[in-house]
Amino acid sequence: MADGDAPDAAAQTAIQSVITQQLNALQSEDGTTAESFASPGIKEKFPDPGAFMSMVHQSYSALVHPKSTHFGDLSQTALGLVQKMTIVDSKGGVWTAAYTMTQVDGQWRISGCFMLKSEAVEA
């Protein structure tokens, strides 16, 4: 996919699969598998699965055992493709996650995740 191109259905399906697989690994506390979906830049910052999982628990705890997740829009941005997701954490807090994605050797990888907590709570 060239810069500026709108994401196609195949890219969206592949990106959502990568994110889903990482979430499943996080829920299983499988740091090795969870980290395998990260881009090389993320792997450099967290060189082993234990450090990666520690970072996730500290900064992205809503992703570890969410009550529910729902994919939103996939859009082309200045940062590349960004997949939005709504997450309801284990305490009913509602979050918006924005995953930045990059292709590495033809495979989609997560290059970042920005999370914003909503004032809303799940009813």
Amino acid identity, residue 107?
Q
32 — phi, psi (to 5°)?
A: -60, -50
Kindly report the CATH class assigned to 9-121. Answer: alpha beta
Mean pLDDT of the chain: 92
pLDDT the model gives residue 1? 47
pLDDT tier for residue 93 given thresholds of 50, 70 and 90: very high
**CA–CA separation, 118 and 115 (whole Å):** 10
**CA–CA separation, 123 and 111 (whole Å):** 32
Pick 3 or 49 by higher pLDDT: 49
Place of tokens 């284990």: 90
pTM equals 0.90
pLDDT tier for residue 79 given thresholds of 50, 70 and 90: confident
Residue 121 pLDDT greater than 80, yes or no: no
pLDDT the model gives residue 4? 52
